[in-house]
Amino acid sequence: MTTPLNAPEEEAHRLDAADPGHRDLFHVPPADGGRYADTAYFAGNSLGLQPKATRTELLEDLADWQRLGVEGHHEAGRPWLPYHALLTETAARLVGARPEETVAMNSLTVNLHLLMVSFYRPRGERVRLVIEDSAFPSDSYAVRSQARLHGLDPDVAVVRLRPRAGEDNLRTEDVLDFLAREGHTVALLMLGGVNYLTGEFMDIPAITSAGQAAGAVVGWDLAHAVGNVPLRLHDWGVDFAAWCTYKYLNSGPGATAGAFVHERHLGDRDLQRFEGWWSTEPSTRFTMAPVADPPATADAWQISNPPIFAMGPVRTSLELFDKVGMTALRERSERLTGYLERLLDEVTAHRPVTVVTPRDPQRRGCQLSLRIGTGSAADLAHRLRHEHGVVTDAREPDIIRVAPVPLYSTFHDCWRMADALARTVEEQA
């Protein structure tokens, strides 16, 4: 028999009154089930909600195309030719980088491939490419194809680091031990900054330092980290990183992604790099020279001219993050996620559900992943949405991902999630 949550709903309302966040700046989808008008939206780790400013500013860019045609490259309110540069400084501040180290371009996996062309250079015994076993599938596909590109067997060249038996998260000390033992065979270490499945926040500076001390290049997939946890890529000495912008950055499905290359690599003409028209110095681009003259910035990794209408929503979102500040968002994230965790402790105490995300707030972002002991995760997510208006994210066979995003999630959303779970999952005898 299912029962409601014991924790009082009034407490959530009191917390929201004292700590309201920025929900009013976003469009929240209506609920198609339950007793509330809006959804309790916890799928921002898959697709963030739309900022209300996005439509207005995107329509401004469209109006310039309508009014100016090709002259919009120079005469638009936000001229298209240098448009990507409008995103550079805000993106750099968000990831803790210098502007010259940061570029908005392409999509996440395209950027990872472009960066691996430069930074995965297997030679001699140093040929291995290391990822985590629970990496997002596109990363697994990308690294295997990079190994094949170099004539290597991906089943041998690609190493997948696994948690200890019976555990869900990859311990930092186990990564460091692996590097101490076998780092001499590693050409590239490329992990997820926040694991997409468990929500674990990896110790980026410690792992980066150990990987480089072992002679490896260290890159990071920050798809679930950017806009979620504080980052200091320049200070941490990361060789390269890439991220998408449609999750926590709320820039819309398939929006333009971002990349980082540490300044020590900028201007290195010996690095292999794929090139295109946008890889050359902007000041001489229209001389139409047959040989590229790459700038000593991350812009050198660009290939094609930027998609303006895919970049507009990114610019809007980055300006919002710049205004609110990552420090304030992280602090609110810890309060929200901690509150949800406390509520879930009540639910999971008597039900076949466990939280697999680390309990230490410093080892996680704003995501709690739940393992469902019986039934299908997808079926449970369907019921939560259609019976209670709670939107979560299922990863088969048994994981429900719940992300209380500090920009727009509320404490009452968290209460609704825990109450819906309590009402949906049968108590154990």
pLDDT tens digit string along 115-124?
999 999 999 9
| Residue range 51-60: mean pLDDT, rounded | 97
Confidence of residue 426 (pLDDT cuts 50, 70, 90): confident
Helix 411-424 to helix 326-348 angle (10° resolution) is: 20
For every residue of 228-246, DSSP letters joined together read TS---HHHHT-SEEEE-SS
Whole-number Å distance between alpha carbons of 41 and 195: 20
On the 0-12 / 13-18 / 19+ scale of CB atoms within 10 A, 17 is: exposed
In which element (H, E) is residue 394 found?
A: strand 393-395
Asked whether the predicted pLDDT for residue 429 surpasses 90, the reply is no
Residues in the chain: 429
Confidence of residue 295 (pLDDT cuts 50, 70, 90): very high
Question: Which pair of structure tokens corresponds to residue 159?
Answer: 């190493």
> Of 418, 358, 379, 390, whose CA–CA distance to 36 is shortest?
390
pLDDT tens digit string along 152-170?
999 999 999 999 999 999 9
Paired strand residues for 227: none
pLDDT tens digit string along 331-373?
999 999 999 999 999 999 999 999 999 999 999 999 999 999 9
Structural domains of the chain sorted by starting position, each given as residue range(s) with its CATH number in brackets: 9-45+325-424 (3.90.1150.10), 58-323 (3.40.640.10)
Whole-number Å distance between alpha carbons of 101 and 264: 9
> Of 405, 408, 412, whose CA–CA distance to 13 is shortest?
412
57, 86 contact by CB (below 8 A): no
Query: In this predicted structure, what is the pLDDT of residue 428?
Result: 64
DSSP class of residue 365 equals -
340, 416 contact by CB (below 8 A): no
pLDDT tens digit string along 169-211?
999 999 999 999 999 999 999 999 999 999 999 999 999 999 9
Confidence of residue 33 (pLDDT cuts 50, 70, 90): confident
On the 0-12 / 13-18 / 19+ scale of CB atoms within 10 A, 158 is: middle
Query: In this predicted structure, what is the pLDDT of residue 2?
Result: 65
The three-state DSSP-derived secondary structure of 28-68 is CCECCCCCCCECEECECCCCCCEEHHHHHHHHHHHHHHHHH
| Residue range 34-54: mean pLDDT, rounded | 97
Whole-number Å distance between alpha carbons of 404 and 321: 16
144, 154 contact by CB (below 8 A): yes
Strand-pair category, 186-192 with 128-132: parallel
Question: Residue 157, Cα to own-chain centre: how many angstroms?
Answer: 26
Whole-number Å distance between alpha carbons of 275 and 290: 12
| Residue range 86-90: mean pLDDT, rounded | 98
3-state secondary structure of 131: strand
Q: What one-letter code names the amino acid at 348?
A: T
| Residue range 387-403: mean pLDDT, rounded | 96
> Of 191, 405, 192, whose CA–CA distance to 317 is shortest?
405
Angle at the Cα of 115 (from 111 to 121), degrees rounded to 5? 150
